[in-house]
Every structure is written in structure tokens, then in C-alpha cells.
Amino acid sequence: MTRRIAGIFLPFLVLILLAVPFFAFAQLPDKIVPCKGVDCNICHLEQLAQNVLNAGIAIAVFLSAVLFAYAGWKYMTAGGNIGKATQAREIFTNVAIGLVIILAGWLVVDTIMKTLVKEHAGFGPWNKICAIQPGRGPDIRN
């Protein structure tokens, strides 16, 4: 009986898991590359770097959440099997270490870029090097 119920609900669960990322990635930019061909300049390169970083972090966080859920499911269904419980704990540990490495890497890159691109007022955001002013086009701030 439980196999029949699992056979009915499993396709719905897979469909939901495949549909959720389309809604979760709503905060990502419409396109990663902000320009086409000869219209590109240094400001578009800065926007491209920011878009790639944002997309990478969003995907990494989403995948880590999925893997945490998988490890939790594996741990809860271990049923006293020490081997399965140990494997689930290893998945938890590996995903946590990977997420910390990814976020630490982002923090290091962000800190280095903020150090290299200093604003007059202090430690400004590196991803706002170019200010687009209406009627003037891209302009590098002083």
C-alpha cells in the first residue's frame, strides 16, 4: 500500500521540486550579459561581474538547501541503520563546509574589490563603480 501511495505522490513531488526554482530565481537579472557587441564598455564589465556573482550565490544557496533537505530525509528514514545515518551526517557536513567556502570566497572577493575601488567617502560598494546618469550615459564616479 505504501508503495502505491509513493508511486502516486512521487511524480507530484518531483514536479514541485522542478517548478520551485523558476519562482525562486526571480531575483536574478533578466540576462547575465548586459550588452551586445560594440556597445560594451568598462561599466558593462562591472555589471557582468556582479550578475555572475549574484547568480552563482543564488544557485549555490538553492542547491545547498536542496541537499540539506535530502540529507534530512535520508537521516529521518534511516530507521536505526547506523550506516545510513552516518551517510546523512556526512552529507550535512559536506554541504555546510561547501556553503561556508562559497560564501567566504564571495566575502574575500568583495573585500578585495572594495579595497581596490575606494570611494572618497570611505569604503564604498565596488559594484557601483559606474553611475548611469540620465542623458549622459555611463560615467565613472570620482
* Biggest CA-to-CA distance, the chain: 70
Residue 15 CA: distances (Å) to CA of 20, 22, 123 = 9, 12, 45
Higher-confidence residue: 55 or 31? 55
9 falls within a domain: no
pLDDT of residue 57: 87
138 falls within a domain: no
User: What confidence category does residue 125 fall into, taking pLDDT thresholds of 50, 70 and 90?
Assistant: low
57 falls within a domain: yes
Report the number of distinct structural domains present in the chain. Answer: 1
Range of the domain at 100: 42-130
pLDDT digits (tens, 9 = 90+) for 79-117: 889 999 999 999 999 999 999 999 998 888 877 777 776
Nearest to 62 by CA among 119, 22, 89: 22
126 falls within a domain: yes
137 falls within a domain: no
74 falls within a domain: yes
pLDDT digits (tens, 9 = 90+) for 32-84: 777 777 777 777 777 787 788 878 888 899 899 999 999 999 999 998 899 99
